Amino acid sequence: MCCVVGSSDQFEMWAQRCLHEGALAGQKLFRVVSRTHALPAQPAREVTIIDPAGLPFNGSKTLTVENIFAMYRHEAAKAREEGFTGMRVLADMRWTLAFPALLSQLAAFELRLDEVVAELGATVVCVYGESNHARRDLAEVVAVHPLTSGMPAADPGFRIWNLDRGTWEIAGEVDESNVDLFGRALTATLANGPVRRLRCGALRFVSAAGIRALSEVGQAQRSRTMVIQDASPMLRRCWAIFELDENLSQVGLEPAAGVSKEVAG
Amino acid sequence: MTKTVQVPPFQHEALLYDGIGQFVDSIVPFIREGLEAREQVLVVVAPAKIEALQGELGSDAGRVSFADMTSLGRNPARLIPAWRRFIDSRPSLGVIRGVGEPIYPDRSPAELVEAQAHETLLNVAFDATPGLKLWCPYDVGALPPEVVAEARRSHPIVVAPGGGESPSDTYLHEHPSPDRRDQPLPPPPSHAKEFTFASEPGELGIVRGIVWQYAVRAGLSRLGVDSLTVAVNEIATNSQRHGGGRGLLRLWTQDGSVVCEVSDAGLITGSPLLGRTFPPMEQRRGRGLWLVNQLCDLVQIRSGPGGTVIRLHLRGDHD
C-alpha cells in the first residue's frame, strides 16, 4: 500500500493509526526511517526501527534492493518464530532521497517489493511526502500500488500491481496524459522476471498508444507466451486492427469470464 | 533458358455501365479473362451484385474472392488498406485483377466525397505497384452526370460496356487535392452540442465521458459507443499534441448516425494517405488515424491555414 501525505504532522497521525491497526492484528511492527529524519519522541508501542542506510548485509555495507528484501525475509521469519501473526512495515520513504540511483527506479523497486510482500504475506506501507519527492516520481509510485491513501496531487490515472509470480493486474484508464508513465511501469514489471499474465478486467480505457505499450511487453519477451486476461471486446478489436493477433502470436487475449465467443467477436 | 514475366503497371479504369445486365455482361468476361491467365481476382461490390456475378460464374465463382462493399467500404478509407492486403498476400509477383465499386447511388453526399477521394488516392497508393488491374464500375443510368464526370477525372482509362477501352481526356494526372482535405464541409447544425477542451490532465477523460454519454443516449450499440469513444479520444489527442493544445468538440445526430466533430488550430501536412497506411508495430505516429478509420463508418478530414476539422460518423446499426 502507498500513502501520500502533505505534511509531517499528517504523516505521524497516519503512521500511528497504521501501526495501531497492525498491533490489533498481532503483527510485529517496524518503522523504516533514515537516521537523518526525526523519530517520534515517545513511540506509543513497541516498534522496531530500521535505518536502511545502516543495513550491513552480506558484509558489503552496500545498499541494494536485494539487501532490503533479504532483510524483510529475515525479519518476517523471526516475527513468526516470536509468535506474531506476521510483520507490518511502515516505511518513511524519505530515506530514498539519499540514493539517487534508487530514486530513478522507484516504480521498479515498488513492483519488486510487491512480489516480496506477496511471498511473505507481510503488510508494507510506503509513505511518501508531497514536499519531498518530485510530482512525476510520486505519480509513478502511486501507479504501482493497488491501494493509495491520502490525496496524491499527481494521480497517474491507472494502477498496476503484482498478484502472483508473473501475474500483474492493471486498472484505470490509459491515454496520452499517462501513457509514458504506463510504458515505464510495464517495463519495470519485466525487471522482475517474465510477465506471463496481464489481467485487464479493471482497465476501463486504453488508447492506441497504450495498446502499443502493452504490445511492447509481449515483444520484449519474444520467446515466452503471455496472456492478456479479461480483455474487453474493444481492446480485442483494437488489438486485431493493429494486426497484433497475427504479428505477436506469443501474446493471447482472453475475454472476460462470462463473455460468450459471439460477443467476443 | 530463363523466362521473363512482364508485369504490367497499375491500371485503374472506370467501367461506365447502365443497369445490372450490362454490369454482369461486362464484369464476368473480365473475371474469366483473369482466371484463364491464373491471376488472383478480388471483387468488392454490393451483395446483390456479388450474388448476380456468382450465379453467372457458376463453379468458377469459387476461384474468386468477394467482399461486400457496403460493409468493407462503408468507410471508403478502409478500401486502400484492403487492396494492399490482398496484393501483399499474393504468393509471387503475379497479376491481381480487381473490381471495386465504391461509388453507388445509395451513398450519402458526405460518403460520396470520401469515396471520390478514395478513387483519386488509389492512383497515389498504387502508382508504384505493378501488377494490379482494377476496374471501378459506375452505373451511369443511376448516378448524377457530375459523378460520372468526376470518374473520368480520377481514372486514366474509361471502359465501355463490352470492354472497349479509351483514355479519359479529362483525367487529372496531378490532382490538386487527392484526399479532398480542402473541400468545405456543411456547417454543423445549430442544435449541435459544443464542448471545448485543453491539454490539462484529465481533459481527455472528460471528452471521453461526454462522447460516451451522448452515444449511449443516441442509442448506439455497446461496441458502437466504445468505438466512437476510442476514436474521438485519438482525434482529441492529436488536437492536444499538434493542434495548438486545445480543441472544440461538437456532437449531433444526422440521418441515423452520431457525428462527432473535433476542430483545432493545427494544420495536417504530409502524405495524403495518412490513416490509410498500416502502421507497423515499431511506428509511433500515425496509429490514431489508422484506428479511427477502422472503427468509424465515415471519417472526414479537412485541414488548411484556418485549422483542422475532423468529423467522425458512426451509424446506429454499427456492429
Nearest to A233 among B204, B223, B291 (CB): B223
The mean pLDDT of B255-259, rounded to a whole number, is 95
The mean pLDDT of B268-293, rounded to a whole number, is 91
Please state which of the ranges A41-45, A59-63, A93-97, A175-179 shows the lowest mean pLDDT: A59-63
Residue A152 pLDDT grade (very low, low, confident, very high; cuts 50, 70, 90): low
CB-based contact A157 B294, cutoff 8 Å: no
CA–CA min distance A208, chain B (Å): 6
Q: Does A210 reach chain B within 8 Å, measured CB to CB?
A: no
What pairs with residue B13 in β-bridges? B135, B157
Cα gap B15→B165, rounded to integer Å: 9
Q: Does A207 reach chain B within 8 Å, measured CB to CB?
A: yes
* Dihedral over alpha carbons A254, A258, A261, A264 (to 10 degrees): -60
CB-based contact B290 A215, cutoff 8 Å: no
Beta sheet of B307-315, edge-to-edge order = B193-197, B247-254, B257-264, B307-315, B298-304
Residue A140 has pLDDT above 90, yes or no: no
Question: For chain B, what is the mean pLDDT?
Answer: 94
Q: Does A232 reach chain B within 8 Å, measured CB to CB?
A: yes
Q: Report the residue of chain B nearest A205, measured CA to CA.
A: B230
pLDDT of A262: 36
Nearest to B281 among A157, A177, A247 (CB): A247
CATH topology for A158-264 is Transcription Regulator spoIIAA (3.30.750)
Please state which of the ranges A30-44, A177-191, B228-242 shows the lowest mean pLDDT: A30-44
In angstroms, what CA-CA distances link B27 with A6, A109, B60, B132, B136?
Answer: 75, 66, 13, 16, 10
pLDDT of A258: 56
pLDDT of A56: 53
- Type of residue at A58: N
CB-based contact B223 A234, cutoff 8 Å: yes
Q: With contacts defined as CB-CB under 8 Å, which chain A residues touch B293?
A: none
CA–CA min distance A234, chain B (Å): 7
CB-based contact A234 B230, cutoff 8 Å: yes
The mean pLDDT of B41-64, rounded to a whole number, is 97
Contacts of A164 (CB under 8 A, 6+ apart): A118
Q: What is the DSSP string of A157-179?
A: SEEEEEEETTEEEEEEEESTTTH
The mean pLDDT of B99-113, rounded to a whole number, is 96
Interface of B with A (CB under 8 A): 201-205, 208, 222-223, 226-227, 229-230, 233-234, 237, 240-241, 278-279, 281, 284, 287-288, 290-291, 294-295
A189 or B212, higher pLDDT: B212
Residue B3 has pLDDT above 60, yes or no: no
- Please state the φ and ψ torsions of residue A180, each to the nearest 5 degrees: -65, -45
CB-based contact A205 B229, cutoff 8 Å: yes
Domain ranges of chain B: 11-167, 193-315
A146 or B197, higher pLDDT: B197
**Would you tell me which CATH number, out of the four given (3.40.1400.10, 3.10.580.10, 3.40.50.720, 3.30.565.10), belongs to the domain B193-315?**
3.30.565.10
CB-based contact A207 B240, cutoff 8 Å: no
Q: With contacts defined as CB-CB under 8 Å, which chain B residues touch A181?
A: none
Residue B286 pLDDT grade (very low, low, confident, very high; cuts 50, 70, 90): confident
Residue B51 has pLDDT above 90, yes or no: yes
CA–CA min distance A265, chain B (Å): 10
Nearest to B233 among A178, A207, A219 (CB): A207
Contacts of B288 (CB under 8 A, 6+ apart): A207, A208, B234, B235, B237, B238
Cell of A70: 533479504
pLDDT tens per residue, range A54-83: 665 445 555 666 777 788 888 889 999 999
Residue A101 pLDDT grade (very low, low, confident, very high; cuts 50, 70, 90): low
**What percent of chain A shows pLDDT beyond 90?**
35
pLDDT of B258: 98
The mean pLDDT of A200-219, rounded to a whole number, is 95
Q: With contacts defined as CB-CB under 8 Å, which chain B residues touch A177?
A: 201-204
CATH topology for B11-167 is Rossmann fold (3.40.50)
Which of A136, A173, A174, A176 is best to mutate for the B interface (most B CBs within 10 A)?
Answer: A176
Contact A97, A37 (CB under 8 A): no
The mean pLDDT of A30-56, rounded to a whole number, is 72
pLDDT of A34: 77
pLDDT tens per residue, range B136-179: 999 999 999 999 999 999 999 999 988 799 999 999 988 889 99
Cα gap A88→A191, rounded to integer Å: 25
What pairs with residue B195 in β-bridges? B249
> In which element (H, E) is residue B133 found?
strand B132-139
Q: Where in chain A is the domain with CATH 3.30.750.24?
A: 158-264
Nearest to A176 among B204, B223, B278 (CB): B204
Which of A234, A236, A243, A259 is best to mutate for the B interface (most B CBs within 10 A)?
Answer: A234
> In which element (H, E) is residue A218 found?
helix A208-220
Nearest to A173 among B203, B205, B227 (CB): B205
Q: With contacts defined as CB-CB under 8 Å, which chain B residues touch A243?
A: 278
Cα gap A107→A199, rounded to integer Å: 19
Cell of A190: 519485466
A73 or B206, higher pLDDT: B206
How far from chain centre, in Å, is Cα A31?
A: 19
Cα gap A124→A91, rounded to integer Å: 7
The mean pLDDT of B5-27, rounded to a whole number, is 91
**Strand, coil or helix: B71:** helix
The top-scoring range by mean pLDDT among A8-12, A55-59, A200-204, B269-273 is A200-204
pLDDT of B275: 95
CATH topology for A2-149 is Rossmann fold (3.40.50)
CB-based contact B279 A241, cutoff 8 Å: no
Q: Where in chain A is the domain with CATH 3.40.50.300?
A: 2-149
Q: With contacts defined as CB-CB under 8 Å, which chain B residues touch A232?
A: 226
